[in-house]
Amino acid sequence: MKIIEYLKQPPSTAELEHILDKLGMEPRQLMRKQEAPYKANNLADTQLDKATLIRIMVENPILIERPIVLANGKAAIGRPPEAVLAIL
């Protein structure tokens, strides 16, 4: 298992798209809506497309819910920690 600290090393657009695919989520589902960049970028606006949301997440990695665990070709958000057990 590899640990990537998104705040220090943000994922690329392709990496984030891959993670979203594995999680079966749309960008807003993986966002931390309480963070300042969410409000500052008006990310609740339903007119924003997926590419725009992903670009903003890459530019502001604090928006990405974490931890995200990738293992055995699957992905899970580690909150609660027990959610990771399903993919191990």
Residue 1 binned pLDDT confidence (cut-offs 50, 70, 90): low
Q: Which CATH number does the domain housing residue 29 bear?
A: 3.40.30.10
Q: Which domain holds residue 29?
A: 13-87
CA distance 42 to 66: 21
pLDDT tens-digit readout, 20-51? 999 999 999 999 999 999 999 999 999 999 99
| For the chain, counts of helices (H) and of strands (E) | 3, 2
How many structural domains is the chain composed of? 1
- Give a yes or no: residue 32 inside a domain: yes
Residue 53 binned pLDDT confidence (cut-offs 50, 70, 90): very high
- Give a yes or no: residue 8 inside a domain: no
Q: Residue written as tokens 């998104």?
A: 6
pLDDT confidence of residue 73: 87
60 phi-psi bin (left φ>0, alpha ψ -120 to 50, beta other): beta
- 7 close to 62: Cβ distance less than 8 angstroms: yes
73 phi-psi bin (left φ>0, alpha ψ -120 to 50, beta other): left
- 34 close to 79: Cβ distance less than 8 angstroms: no
- Give a yes or no: residue 55 inside a domain: yes
